[in-house]
Amino acid sequence: MGLVVGLGCRPRFEPGSSPAGGDQPGSIQDAAPAVPPAQSPAGPVLLRVADRQVYDEVLAKHRGQPILVDFWASWCVPCTEQFPHTVQLHAKYAARGLTVVSVSLDEPEDEASVRRFLEQQGATFDNLLSRWGGDDPSFEHFDIRAGTIPHYKLYDRDGQVVETFSVDPAAARQFTPADIEHSVVRLLEETP
């Protein structure tokens, strides 16, 4: 894949407004993935509104496996362009032990639109929707220090963050989906 993540997204709407609401231009219905959705393992798309406690419970449920967490939102074009890659990583490496979790920073009232997007993508892994939407508490509670999305965290089998992928406008080179995959493979190859 040649996709390079450019500038990250930070919400540019008033708190309480809906960036992905309905059929507005730029809504989740308009988001077209850069690559077609991957063929995913069969199963339903699960989505629940979550705070940090629920997030920690999901991570604890998968302790003993490497975990890739994708923080994204429908109003973030680089996020929706890169999301199919997250689905492909799940499809490609789940049998080798990789767990994938997504955390949407869309507004909780947009749950139906987020679910439709996830279904279109075949995202049959754990999907969470931040109870704080795209507001600052999401970035604080989920420890997204860069303050932008897309943002990825890779956890080892002991539940420790071993690598993050964040957009850094000052960096000479931004991460690519290949960088994420390389780190996933390296972690999967480590002896449990």
Contact assessment for residue 32 and residue 26, using Cβ atoms and an 8 Å cutoff? no
| Residue 41 confidence (pLDDT) | 46
Whether the pLDDT of residue 34 is over 90: the answer is no
d(CA 75, CA 93): 28
The separation between the first and the last C-alpha atoms of the chain, rounded to the nearest angstrom, is: 29
Which of 107, 110, 153, 155 minimizes the C-alpha distance to 131?
A: 107
- Average pLDDT of span 127-132: 98
2 or 191: which carries more pLDDT confidence?
A: 191
184 or 32: which carries more pLDDT confidence?
A: 184
Structure tokens at 191: 């002896």
| Residue 14 confidence (pLDDT) | 42
Q: So where are the chain's domains?
A: 43-189
| Residue 17 confidence (pLDDT) | 41
Mean of pLDDT over the chain:
83
CATH homologous superfamily for the domain 43-189: Glutaredoxin (3.40.30.10)
The CA angle 152-163-5, to the nearest 5 degrees, is 45
Whether the pLDDT of residue 121 is over 60: the answer is yes
Q: Is 119 exposed, middle or buried (0-12, 13-18, 19+ CB in 10 A)?
A: middle
Q: Where are the beta strands (DSSP E) in the chain?
A: 46-50, 67-72, 99-104, 126-130, 151-155, 161-166
Question: Over the stretch 137-171, which tens digit does the pLDDT of each residue have?
Answer: 999 999 998 889 999 999 999 999 999 998 877 77
| Residue 8 confidence (pLDDT) | 67
Peptide bond into 150 cis (omega under 30): yes
pLDDT > 90 in the chain, percent: 68
Partners of residue 86 on adjacent β-strands: none
- Cβ atoms within 10 Å, residue 185: 15
Which of 102, 111, 107, 121 minimizes the C-alpha distance to 33?
A: 121
pLDDT > 70 in the chain, percent: 77
